[in-house]
Amino acid sequence: MKAIAYQHALPIQNELALQDRDLPEPMPGPRDLLVEVKAISVNPVDTKMRAGAQPEPGQWRVLGWDASGIVRDVGGEVRLFKPGDRVWYAGDIRRPGSNSELHVVDERLVGHAPYTLDHAQAAAMPLTTITAWELMFDRLRLRQGAHAGESLLVIGAAGGVGSILVQLARQLTKLNVIGTASRPETSSWVQELGAHHVIDHGQPLAQGLKAQGLEAPQYVVSLTHSDAYLPQITELIAPQGRFGLIDDPDVLDIGPLKKKSVSVHWELMFTRSMFGTTDMQAQHELLTQVALLVDAGRLRTTVGEHLGRIDATNLRRAHALVEAGHTRGKLVLEGF
């Protein structure tokens, strides 16, 4: 089968960083689906793994943790899907990724894809949707239909996770949703996705809130550069607030948050699959719920740019754009 893989952790400017390969077809285990991949998207985790995770000598590693496709075959214990089903998912970071014609994934991590989206539109959403959903409802313990009179500040709202988190917060809660963006095009994007207010994270955040007459938010989510924003978050968050993050600062001094009794909540959407938790199937269930919301017209795809077919050249370009940190929404590729 066709695949894009690497043998050495290299800068993306090196043509050997990602290569077109012909690899053996995978075989599904008892609870696995064998999926014919139609479209993928690229996330920061792809670039971090490529740059820092060295495969075993002589081995090829396939990245990719977002896919939309068709079930070709199922394992003997599969109960949720059948061949021919359209599916979307993010998968398991411990296993080979989705940058290949055929991909094996545990059915408990997979949802039925929205019928109103094509494969490229669907592939943009799973990893970021799972991250945003778990961060909001599992980590920060927000409640659907609740929180009138309270506010959520989303730092980095125009990125992949922010683009779906803003929509989920607006559609499923009564929170006052405040997003941050630093360019006119990203500010417009965040407004289009449903944020009540947008402030510039290139300027002091507390001043931005004050300029729009906004009170201290009870909930703050930082999706990028959390260590740099932490002093400002400490200043602006409401007493007894909740702070959530998804990135990986080398150092994060949360001591100053104690004065306000602020709780800290970290989200990694791979935790359930990495540890085989008893609630792994929660990802299947939330992707199913989100598909219904998409088909009902309440949520939209977060595609920012379609980069063409799935090959090494286009994937290297996608990795370079993600590493530059200026993407809006998600980058997708489609077809082999």
Q: How many CB atoms lie within 10 A of CB 215?
A: 13
User: Is 326's pLDDT higher than 80?
Assistant: no
pLDDT mean over 234-241:
98
d(CA 11, CA 52) in angstroms, rounded, equals: 10
Say if CB 303 and CB 334 are below 8 A apart: no
Predicted pLDDT of residue 13 = 95
CA angle 69, 74, 78 (to 5 degrees): 115
**What confidence category does residue 19 fall into, taking pLDDT thresholds of 50, 70 and 90?**
very high
d(CA 328, CA 305) in angstroms, rounded, equals: 8
Query: Is domain 2-125+273-334 annotated with CATH 3.20.20.210?
Result: no
The residue to which tokens 């602006």 are assigned: 236
Q: What is the pTM of this model?
A: 0.96
d(CA 4, CA 336) in angstroms, rounded, equals: 10
Architecture category of domain 128-266 in CATH: 3-Layer(aba) Sandwich (3.40)
Q: Long-range contacts for 230-233 (Cβ within 8 Å, ≥24 apart)? A: 230/254, 230/256, 231/256, 232/204, 232/205, 232/206, 233/155, 233/205
* CATH 3.40.50.720 segments of the chain: 128-266
25-79 pLDDT per residue, tens = 999 999 999 999 999 999 999 999 999 999 999 999 999 999 999 999 999 999 9
* CATH 3.90.180.10 segments of the chain: 2-125+273-334
